[in-house]
Amino acid sequence: MLNKLKGKRIMITGASSGIGEALAIECARRGMHLGLVARREEHLHRLAERLRPSGVQIETAVLDVNDTDQVTPVLSGLADLLGGVDIVIANAGILKSRKVGDGRMHRDQQIFQTNVMGAIATSEAAIQLFRLQGRGGQFAVTSSYSAFLPLPMAAAYSASKAAVTSYFNAIRAPLLRENIRVTVLHPSFVKTDMLDGFETRGLPIVARADEMATAMMDAIAREQHNPILPKQPWGMLYQAQKLMPSRLILELQKRM
């Protein structure tokens, strides 16, 4: 899988930390040219300088995907600097926990705005770019295994990822007519700064970001539709979960 993506031009949102940063490092390792997008300019520049010795082209753009009107012009400008784009990953996302009924519904609104509408805005920009180029492309979006196993302390996050999975699976078929491929990534629980302040004791098998980035890029290289990552044990758990009685799933959620 290393050589398959070499020389490809990729744009990644939410690239300044966590999985996004790990994806940038992994893509540079594979010889891909990078367009890195995030809110925090200082973090972006630090990451870009770290990766420049790899010899790939690196361009950066500051963007908050919540400002949906700016997503298309910013990504278009970044594509111009890169000389085009082959792959776009909508990775920007947030996690805010709360207890149900605590009155802090604004936190849920923020999650849906960033995780769902930000991803959709990114896809709209990517589709326009692919159409202008006239040769198709690949759009990938970071969902989560919590789309299938909702987290009680992060109900809005889980629901937002379920919405992402449903939306991008819905648009895959019509886009294939234009050679635009859609990959919906479902990483398991990953230890990043997003989990700071979130109780991880009940989460099973918290993975490392670098290992997850490798698995995600392999899935993108294979143009998989809905990979669950890593495949072992999570793919097996997903199949087993389908057969579990709802009472057993409820007991599992109680421990999270």
51 pLDDT more than 60 = yes
Of the chain, the percentage scoring pLDDT greater than 90 comes to 74
Pairing verdict, β 58-62 and 33-38: parallel
* Tens digit of each residue's pLDDT (9 = 90 or more) over 60-106: 999 999 999 999 999 999 999 999 999 999 999 999 888 888 999 99
Average pLDDT, the chain: 91
Residue given tokens 């594509």 in the structure block: 79
What is the per-residue pLDDT for 11?
98
Provide the terminal-to-terminal Cα distance of the chain, rounded to the nearest Å: 35
Minimal CA–CA distance to 192: which of 33, 15, 10? 15
pLDDT of residue 193: 65
Distance set, CA 167 to CA 2, 75, 170, 172 (Å): 30, 21, 5, 9
CA atoms within 13 A on the CB side of 208: 3
Q: How many other C-beta atoms lie within 10 A of the C-beta of residue 163?
A: 18
The 10s digit of each residue's pLDDT in 150-209 is 888 889 999 999 999 999 999 999 999 999 999 999 998 886 666 555 555 555 557 889
In this prediction, residue 205 carries a pLDDT of 58
What pLDDT was estimated at residue 245? 75
pLDDT at 250 over 90: no
- 3 state DSSP class of 80: helix
Residue 56 scores a pLDDT above 90 = yes
Instruction: Annotate 201-242 with DSSP letters as a single string.
Output: TTSS-PBPHHHHHHHHHHHHHTT-SS-EESHHHHHHHHHHHH
**Residues recognised as catalytic:** 157
